[in-house]
Amino acid sequence: MKFLPQVAFLIALGVTAYLIYRRVSRISANIKLGRSLDRTDNPSTRWKTMLRIAFGQQKMFDKPLVGILHFLVYAGFVLINIEVLEIIIDGVTGTHRIFAGVLGGFYTVLISFFEFLAVGVLLACVIFLIRRNLLKVPRFGSPEMKGWPTLDATVILVVEITLMAAILLMNAADTVLQAKGAAHYTQTGAFLFSQMLTPVLEGLSINALVVIERVGWWFHILGIFAFAVYVTYSKHLHIALAFPNTYFSNLQPKGYMDNMESVTNEVQLALGLKEDDGNMPEIDRFGAKDINDLTWKNLMDAYSCTECGRCTSNCPANITGKKLSPRKVMMDTRDRMEEIGEYIAKGGELEKALAEGHGLYSDERISKQELMACTTCNACTDACPINIDPLSIILQMRRYIALEEADTPQSWNSMFTNIENNMAPWQFSPTDRFNWAENLND
């Protein structure tokens, strides 16, 4: 019986580690379904981008109040997890507040600081809950946010509030137990915020206080374990993926569009600028019809999406009532990836998985109407707080419509013909291009 708590803790820790490993493996395999893409250039610039955007939360402060609250939750949750390290060590070894003996008086200061952060996280999450559910911010009410996406955000906020409250209650009970001289409770002194709760607990017996403290301890650590697993299924996966996603950002200037390598090769061959050495890659498809036609970075973008909606709220097409929502493009990509990944995990082949359900380019997911509404202005990419690039997916899918289905609007087809024949969107000879300037000096 003496080691039962430690055995129970090790089982909980092992189950959590296994579930996270299995889920991370699935996500990694799904991302690898995408085409290869080299993003290893300019490592110093990439590190700076990651530190500035992901760690420093730079883009979040475009909206100062929201940025401050988000940073408080982000920094608080990360730093408070240092205390989780102590809880894990205590759970494995059977000790209690093992760092207190090492840090001495500084331990009380450190835990008080963590409590300050916990209260900050708690208040920020309450404000976010009110903002989402009572103030009805328009970007949280878009069609793609109905159902699970909205519930997911609410669940996370409620869990964070509950976990922070558990820390304060646990510390308050611990402080009273210290004052009563209970065995096994290291003398640390009162902590900054939890001491405000001690008057409510002082009249309780030692046994009752031990139950409260232990329930708070187990609730907090099991809540952290459950949260860690849940995050891998949630939009809050961006907590982890924001860092690699910003590191592998597109470093090209906004508005730069990559040429299609397959088309470039064909043009260079036709112009005699390149010789066919027999090693030209075989062209399976022009553009993207499904997730296997996208790059691994596009798929990582989809998993990293925070569903904050800044991309959609800044999209001029969406603002003017068009069906396009860059956030929905990312959510649909992630959902399709999960669908195909699950099929493959059950032993199915990729080709058969792609034939199952609704493809990425379909009326049920990302429709032609949505794709054609995009102005390629890059407002979505510029607005994203972690450098997700919805435009890249949109462009690749539009290339499929143009080059594989030849299904672009007639006005586009006329423009394509003019560019091909006249090297300009207008239907006149290139030699007449500057006729308009002849009488400027008259």
pLDDT averaged over the chain?
Answer: 89
Choosing among 1.20.1300, 1.10.10, 1.10.3470, 1.10.1060, the CATH entry for 261-427 is: 1.10.1060
The pLDDT > 70 percentage for the chain reads 98
- Using the predicted structure, report yes or no on whether residue 441 has a pLDDT greater than 80: no
Which residue blocks in 105-237 are alpha helix, DSSP H? 105-133, 148-179, 198-201, 206-231
Task: Report the alpha-carbon distance of residue 442 to residue 438 in Å, rounded.
Answer: 9
**R_g of the chain, CA atoms, integer Å:** 28
- CA-nearest of 21, 53, 51 to 389 is 53
Give the residue-averaged pLDDT of 39-63. 92
- Using the predicted structure, report yes or no on whether residue 19 has a pLDDT greater than 90: yes
How far is residue 78 from each of residues 26, 130, 419, measured CA to CA in Å?
25, 23, 54
- Using the predicted structure, report yes or no on whether residue 2 has a pLDDT greater than 70: no
pLDDT per residue as tens digits for the range 91-123: 998 888 888 888 888 999 999 998 998 999 999
- Using the predicted structure, report yes or no on whether residue 267 has a pLDDT greater than 80: no
- Using the predicted structure, report yes or no on whether residue 24 has a pLDDT greater than 70: yes
Q: How confident is the model at residue 318 (pLDDT cuts 50, 70, 90)?
A: very high
The pLDDT > 90 percentage for the chain reads 51
Break the chain into its structural domains and give their ranges.
63-247, 261-427
- CA-nearest of 205, 214, 204 to 166 is 214
| Torsion on CA atoms 261, 262, 263, 266, rounded to nearest 10 | 120
Is pLDDT larger for residue 361 or for residue 133? Answer: 361
Quote the pLDDT of residue 17.
Answer: 95
- Using the predicted structure, report yes or no on whether residue 273 has a pLDDT greater than 80: no
Give the residue-averaged pLDDT of 253-271. 80
CB 381 within 8 A of CB 394: no
Range with lowest mean pLDDT among 48-57, 179-188, 288-297? 179-188
Which residue blocks in 3-104 are alpha helix, DSSP H? 4-31, 43-49, 64-93, 98-103
Structure tokens at 263: 């088309």
- CA-nearest of 154, 175, 178, 162 to 219 is 162
Structure tokens at 317: 């097409």
pLDDT per residue as tens digits for the range 180-231: 888 888 888 889 999 999 999 988 999 999 999 999 989 988 988 998 999 9
Phi and psi based region of residue 254 (left: phi greater than 0; alpha: psi -120 to 50; beta: remaining): beta
Give the residue-averaged pLDDT of 126-139. 87
Residue 398: HSE in the Cβ half-sphere, 13 Å Cα cutoff: 18
